[in-house]
A and B are shown apart, each in its own frame.
Chain A
Amino acid sequence: MSGMLELPEDCIAAVISFTTPRDACRLACVSTIFRSAADSISFGTASCIRSRTLDQSPVLRRSATSIASFWLDRPSGKICYMISPRELYSVCYDCTELWQIYPIDIAHYHFSIPDCRFPGVLIRFDVISFEVGGKISTSLLSPMTTYTAYLVFAEGLIFCRDDAPAKVAVGLARSTNGLNRTIYLHRVHLDGDDDGFFPKRRADGWLESELGEFFNGGDEEGELSMTMKTCWKENLLIQGIEIRPKKE
């Protein structure tokens, strides 16, 4: 007879994903293995909660475990996501592929970055213009919620021209009413400027820049697209794009 403790963390996470946010928080207090299962429920199990009818492509589910991670915002219980470097797309206008995914231990060694949610980070080495972005299905997000998307990156760009801002946009893919803004990656947010133009320091030691907001009504299914276009940056280390409910 096997007990719950002998089950792999994946299974416990799957159980938690079927509960309510309130139950999930109480479960997290049961023991250390429950807490770590609750803290990092994989993308695959997240899609299970959404559709109790099992998807027909479990292989995708499997390989999806490293693609994005999802957790619940406390206390609202709304779903938050971080899209991993592997799921981000990147475009280089100079036609040379200079993005690289670095395994996390090598990145730690070379760039002394803080701990990271995923096994890899995305690095851009050159200084020419480029675009990076990610997509997520709105059906995976909590309905009737305003979300804010953030680009999460490491401090310490070697070369970064002040006069080269970044253009960011968040909106439904293939729709024209996405929000376009201009932000600056070059200096960290100081007290006083609260407009989201400058990156802020996160509790985990990374920086985050606001890409924009999106209201998910829940009635319309689509793909939320988040992008950043900029130029003249070197050694830009990206952990991922995080989507979480806007703080009221």
Chain B
Amino acid sequence: MSTAATADASSSGDTTEGSVRLLTLQSEDGEVFEVKETIATQSVTIKGMVDDDCATSTIPVCNVTGRTLAMVIEWWNKHEIGAVSNEKELKEWESQFDTIDDKSDRDDVYDLLMAANYLNIPTLLDCCTSAVAEAIKGKSTDEMREFFDIKSDFDEKEEDALRKENQWAFEN
């Protein structure tokens, strides 16, 4: 995506644009992104690195693909102070994460969750977790399994016991 454009920057890793310092992030699959420090420090992990002076060279973002990292950066840009004029506009933009009935949307949200967890981005983590929680509202356990694409790993006895213990949750 932006590999070529930033190849130059990745060699020094610590460039400035005007007075704003730029950080270089590299995704798991090798894509390189340049991000303003003021924006990237929405990630607590990156902020810690900057504070400890460990962000002078390219920062590897393991477990996160370039595609996902691009989405994360879009998130940061939208959530930079002053980037969006009002709260309502931001909420509208965030609402695109709310409908995840589609399998591909779901995968995106899982990837974002993974990235938000690794980079420790509280706002993104909250948005994704609440979107997933919203999507499974009122679903039965079997429907939840289908939604998460998970098979039960309880044995029959265990599952019976669990259902008994949580009986009240299965009554409508």
A residues at B contact (CB < 8 Å):
1-8, 10-11, 14-32, 35, 48, 52, 54-55, 58-59, 61-62, 74-75
Question: What are the residues of chain B within 8 A of A1 when measuring CB–CB?
Answer: 107, 110-111
- B117 with A74: CB separation less than 8 A: no
Once the chains are docked, how many angstroms separate the CA of A181 from the CA of B110? 51
Question: What are the residues of chain A within 8 A of B39 when measuring CB–CB?
Answer: none
- B151 with A31: CB separation less than 8 A: yes
Instruction: Given the known inter-chain contacts A1-B111, A6-B114, please indicate yes or no for A11 contacting B129, CB distance below 8 A.
Output: yes
Once the chains are docked, how many angstroms separate the CA of A28 from the CA of B169? 11
**Per-residue CB proximity of B140-164 to A under 8 Å, as 1/0?**
1100110011111110000100110
Instruction: Given the known inter-chain contacts A1-B111, A7-B114, A74-B168, please indicate yes or no for A54 contacting B150, CB distance below 8 A.
Output: no
- A32 with B154: CB separation less than 8 A: yes
Residue of A nearest to B163 (CB): A29
- A5 with B117: CB separation less than 8 A: no
Stretch touching chain A among B7-15, B30-38, B69-77, B120-128: B120-128
Tell me, yes or no, whether B138 is within 8 Å of chain A by CB.
Answer: yes
- Report the minimum CB–CB distance from B142 to chain A (whole Å): 9
- A31 with B169: CB separation less than 8 A: no
Question: What are the residues of chain B within 8 A of A3 when measuring CB–CB?
Answer: 107, 110, 148-150
- Report the minimum CB–CB distance from A159 to chain B (whole Å): 40
8 contacts between A and B (CB under 8 A): A1-B111, A15-B129, A23-B139, A25-B168, A29-B141, A29-B159, A52-B130, A54-B126
Q: Which of B132, B137, B140 has the most CB of A within 10 A?
A: B132
Once the chains are docked, how many angstroms separate the CA of A59 from the CA of B150? 32
Total of A-B residue pairs, C-beta within 8 Å: 114
- B141 with A26: CB separation less than 8 A: yes
- Report the minimum CB–CB distance from B67 to chain A (whole Å): 10
Count chain B residues whose beta carbon lies closer than 8 angstroms to a beta carbon of A: 40
- B138 with A23: CB separation less than 8 A: yes
- B125 with A30: CB separation less than 8 A: no
- Given contact pairs A15-B133, A17-B133, A24-B169, enumerate 15 new A-B contacts (beta carbons under 8 Å): A2-B114, A7-B117, A11-B113, A14-B129, A18-B130, A18-B132, A23-B137, A23-B138, A25-B166, A29-B141, A30-B148, A31-B152, A48-B126, A74-B168, A75-B168
B residues at A contact (CB < 8 Å):
44, 107, 110-111, 113-114, 117, 120, 122-123, 125-126, 129-130, 132-134, 136-141, 144-145, 148-154, 159, 162-163, 165-166, 168-170
Question: What are the residues of chain B within 8 A of A31 when measuring CB–CB?
Answer: 145, 150-154
Once the chains are docked, how many angstroms separate the CA of A163 from the CA of B29? 70
Once the chains are docked, how many angstroms separate the CA of A75 from the CA of B138? 17
Q: Which of B123, B138, B144, B163 has the most CB of A within 10 A?
A: B144
Residue of A nearest to B48 (CB): A59
Question: What are the residues of chain A within 8 A of B107 when measuring CB–CB?
Answer: 1-3
Question: What are the residues of chain A within 8 A of B140 when measuring CB–CB?
Answer: 26
Question: What are the residues of chain B within 8 A of A10 when measuring CB–CB?
Answer: 117
Residue of B nearest to A6 (CB): B114
Residue of A nearest to B166 (CB): A25
- A4 with B149: CB separation less than 8 A: yes
- Report the minimum CB–CB distance from A247 to chain B (whole Å): 16
- A4 with B122: CB separation less than 8 A: no
Once the chains are docked, how many angstroms separate the CA of A166 from the CA of B141? 47
- B133 with A26: CB separation less than 8 A: no
Closest 4 CB pairs of A and B: A18-B133, A25-B169, A25-B166, A75-B168
- Report the minimum CB–CB distance from B162 to chain A (whole Å): 5
- B110 with A4: CB separation less than 8 A: yes
Once the chains are docked, how many angstroms separate the CA of A52 from the CA of B170? 27
Residue of A nearest to B43 (CB): A58
Instruction: Given the known inter-chain contacts A22-B169, A26-B169, please indicate yes or no for A52 contacting B129, CB distance below 8 A.
Output: no
Instruction: Given the known inter-chain contacts A3-B110, A26-B170, please indicate yes or no for A32 contacting B129, CB distance below 8 A.
Output: no
